[in-house]
Amino acid sequence: MDAPEQPQLYLITPPAFALESFPGTLARVLDGADVACIRLSMASHDEDEIAHAADSLRELAHERDIALVITDHVLLAQRLGLDGVHLSDAGRSVRAARKTLGPDAVVGSFCGTSRHDGMAAGEAGADYVSFGPVGVSALGDGTRAEPELFQWWSQMIELPVVAEGGLTPGLVAELAPHTDFFGIGDEIWGQDDPLAALKALTGAMG
């Protein structure tokens, strides 16, 4: 994924969702906002459940020329015809995923708050790295990816970067000059109108 002039939207699915309703909700968001990539990020380890979800979302994404990646399941990404994989192990499996999926696949790496892990993932062949959470989150140990990390990255490193986790309109405004993508998921899916929530969150980008 090439670094855009203005941050682009990278949607992250809920960890569990109803196949009868979520694709329709997602379609409304995709038709109302300019989305660059979708990450299928399910908590389930049921291969059939993940495959059914991937099939339904792949159709939506590819109809709209949007990339669809899946969290960690390299072999499923290959088998299901997805665009790539988002790895959550701070770059340790980037090289192996690239070897399996080939040069044209999207391989991204979540690197928490570590500049070092981000650079290592890039050297291993990642197409992008993501840092987070950028906002206050009860998950993990409470550490945050501070704005300074994104400022440094945007000045020193050409590899595209995703800001995700606990985003607020204020953080979007602060990080917009320094990040290439905003990874947005929990912030909108629990709302009555996810598209309106997305626009309220990202309106600060200008």
pTM (2 d.p.):
0.95
Domain presence at residue 81:
no
Mind listing the pLDDT tens digit for each residue in 67-125?
999 999 999 999 999 999 999 999 999 999 999 999 999 999 999 999 999 999 999 99
Phi-psi region of 74 (alpha: psi -120 to 50; beta: other; left: phi over 0): alpha
CA distance 88 to 94: 10
**Per-residue pLDDT tens over the stretch 18-53:** 999 999 999 999 999 999 999 999 999 999 999 999
Can you give the pLDDT at residue 5? 74
Contact 174, 168 (CB under 8 A): no
Please indicate, yes or no, if residue 39 is contained in any of the structural domains.
Answer: yes
The pLDDT of residue 117 is: 98
Residue 8: what are its φ and ψ, rounded to 5°?
A: -105, 165
DSSP 204: G
Instruction: Report the number of distinct structural domains present in the chain.
Output: 1
Q: What CATH number did the domain enclosing 148 receive? A: 3.20.20.70
What domain range includes position 181? 8-71+129-205
